[in-house]
């Protein structure tokens, strides 16, 4: 499996509103915060990843797991914490 950053961008732009926008809408709908907000974000990241990979015809469990984690980290800005 080769990692392609363009796939991450495609997943983050999922459905035109993006993973971040969709996550924020769901979190506000359920008034979620803390760990529940992260679980919602992870679920949206996994769903968008599965959809994009299956549409591209390149779904494999290993790539699904890796891209889901990368999208989750990117969508939540956790890379900024790791950078510091």
Residue 9, in any domain of the structure: no
Residue 7, in any domain of the structure: no
Q: Is 31 left (phi over 0), alpha (psi -120 to 50) or beta?
A: left
Residue 55, in any domain of the structure: yes
Residue 8, in any domain of the structure: no
Six-digit token string for 62? 């290993």
In angstroms, the CA 11 to CA 5 distance is 10
Domain count of the fold of the chain: 1
Residue 2, in any domain of the structure: no
Determine phi and psi for 13, rounding to 5 degrees: -90, 15
What pLDDT score does 61 carry?
95
Return per-residue pLDDT of the chain as tens, 84 residues: 677 778 888 888 876 678 888 888 999 999 999 999 999 999 999 999 999 999 888 899 999 999 999 889 888 877 655 555
What pLDDT score does 38 carry?
92
Q: For residue 7, what are the contacts with CB-CB under 8 A and spacing of at least 6?
A: 52, 53, 56, 67
Residue 45, in any domain of the structure: yes
What pLDDT score does 25 carry?
92
Residue 46, in any domain of the structure: yes
Residue 67, in any domain of the structure: yes
Segments forming the whole domain that contains residue 33: 18-83
CB 45 within 8 A of CB 13: no
């Amino acid at each position: 499996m080769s990692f392609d950053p363009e796939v991450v961008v495609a997943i983050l732009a999922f459905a035109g509103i993006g993973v971040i926008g969709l996550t924020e809408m769901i979190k506000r709908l359920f008034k979620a915060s803390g760990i529940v907000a992260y679980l919602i974000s992870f679920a949206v990241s996994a769903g968008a990843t599965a959809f994009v990979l299956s549409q591209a015809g390149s779904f494999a469990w290993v790539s699904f797991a890796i891209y889901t984690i990368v999208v989750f980290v990117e969508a939540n800005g956790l890379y900024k914490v790791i950078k510091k």
